[in-house]
Structure formats: structure tokens, C-alpha cells
Amino acid sequence: MTNQSSENLLNLPLEIATDNGYKFSWFDWFCLWYPPGWLILFNRHWQHYHQDPEGWNWLEYILFLLPGGFYLALLIRWLRLGCRAPKQNIDEFNPEYQKAFSKEVLAPIVKYYFQGELKQLEHLPQTGPLIVAMNHAGMSFPWDFLTLAELLSQERGWTVQPLAGISLFEHPWMVWWLPAGWSNVLGGVRAEFKAFETAIQQRKILLYAPEGLRGPLKGWRRRYQLQKFDVSFMQLSDRYQVPILPVLCVGNEYLHPLTINWQKLQRLFKLPFLPLSPLMLLLILFPSMGVWAMKTRLRYFIQPLEPLATTDKFANSHTKRTNVYQQAQKLREKLQIQINQLLNHQSS
């Protein structure tokens, strides 16, 4: 199938497109169970549906699988592009590609690798819009978010869009790892207040980490200890009357266990976090493992919808912000109690 005909699949109804779409081959199964191959999965799927002459090629893919081979592949690609970085395209969200990626790549990973499972489905609403607030951790590629988005899509047929750190959109390393515009096309919403508010106004179903980067930054020593919540989700929930659905994930702390954050190098490379653990020795040999995570069972416990936040419309801005901050921290304390109970029940 040519790149042009593959790209045209996205203009067809999904049931037709996926019948003739990307097939998970023996090589993809190999990549799933061989950690340096995960980056190949993402790029191969993208190239099936998009013309991408500047993307990785087969020689470079094979080099990913060899110790230190990624560095040679990077050099070859850099020379192939005329000694420059790949062009950064600004592409819009494509729900059809998100559905194809979810069905053809995410679904096997979620089912066979992370064994993702939704619990307490009686609390899951039938329709949106929603702010799905989840404890985010693991100090790795955001697999706890992607898995939850896939499970919600399977259960309700929803189009779910996660708020994603700015580095996933514009960090110079990302354009080498992942296709240009990948995060935008898959529905990522920049973790900035203006972008968040715009998505809320459009009545979308959004995945949100109230801890922000404080969640993964806390490291292994403080696993499952919820950090201070940001207040933006409470403010926007109140302003636009969009319900908050809390979800507690158990297992995501084991996506990259035994980690501490290497702050000096993190700041030097302008990364959201830089985990130091025994796994980092493998990452040095196989940089394509940067999108990989340890095999763990991800279980999501859906909580009852939170009552809509209320603020006194006659109060001054400082008082309003104080009230919303207090509501956010009360929610954090309530969810921390629930997490502790889940962990105690698991260990008993």
C-alpha cells in the first residue's frame, strides 16, 4: 500500500479504514516484547498513514535494536536530512488517526502488556463533557494516561484527549524520537491554562493530572503520596460547569521503579524530569527505550463524580482563589485516603 493510499484511509469511515489499515505483524509483536522496539511501533504506524520522507527508515530501525545503534541511526538520519533536524509540523487533532492508533497499536499494548482494567464502572457517566482527574506517576512516558484513555474509549466510545506536558510538543529531542506533530494529531492538549480553557469550552472529555509534574517528580520514595493539586481544573470546572471524575490508578508507580529525579541534569537538558535508576544503564545503550516502561498491571478505580465547585460570585479574586485552592486540597486529601485503602486492601 502506498503512503498516499494509506493517508487516504483516514478520510474513510473508521470501520472501513481499519479493515484495510495497519496490521499488527510478527515484527510488531517482537518490538512489543523487546523494549528498544517500542519507538519503532509508533513510527511505523505513523508512516503507514502519513507521507513522512524525513522519518526513520528500515536501516535505522534495525540499528535501534542493537546496543549503541541508536546513535549511529541518529547520525545517518541527520546526514540524510542535510545535517539538520526534522521539520516541526503544526498539525491539528485528527480523531480518525487517534482511533486507528488506539485500535491498531494501543489496544494490544494495553491488553497484553499493561493488562489495563477499569474498576467500579458504576461510577462512570454515560456522556461527557468531563475532566477526568487521575494520579499521574511512574517517571516515564505517560503510559498511565494513554492506557486510561484507551480503556475509556473502549468502554464508552469516547474521544478522550489528555493534557500533556509542553516537552511532548516542542522539546528538540521529541522531533527525533517521534513524528513531527505526533502529540497534536493524537489529541494532546498543551498543559497551559489557555489551551486547557479552550478545550473545556469545546465540551471535550479531558484527562488531567491535578498534581502536574509534581506527581512523577516525587520519585519512588514517595510513591502513591499525592502532591499538592493545581487549582486550574477546579476553576474551570466551576466556570463552565463541567463535572470532575476522579480516577485512582494503582500500578503506575511501577512503570519506572526505584527512581529519583536527577535535578541538575534535568535542568541542564530542560527536561520535565530525568529519572535515575538501574534502568538508566540500559537507556544509555538503547535510547529508543525512552518511550518504553516496565511491565505492570494498571488498574483504574473510578470514583463518584465530584460535586461542582462553587464560589461566591460577589467575593474578590483573592478570596475566590483561596476557596478554590481549599476545595482542591480537600479533594486531594479525600483521594489520598482512598488510595491508602486500596493499597492496604491489595497487601492484605
Spans in the chain with pLDDT lower than 70: 1-20, 90, 309-315, 348
At residue 250, the pLDDT reads 96
At residue 12, the pLDDT reads 42
pLDDT digits (tens, 9 = 90+) for 89-113: 767 899 999 999 999 999 999 999 9
Amino acid present at 129: P
Q: Where are the beta strands (DSSP E) in 105-233?
A: 117-119, 130-134, 160-164, 189-190, 205-208
Cell numbers describing residue 269: 537538558
Edge-to-edge strands, sheet with 117-119: 117-119, 299-302, 244-250, 130-134, 205-208, 160-164, 189-190
Cell numbers describing residue 137: 506517576
At residue 7, the pLDDT reads 46
Query: What is this structure's pTM?
Result: 0.89
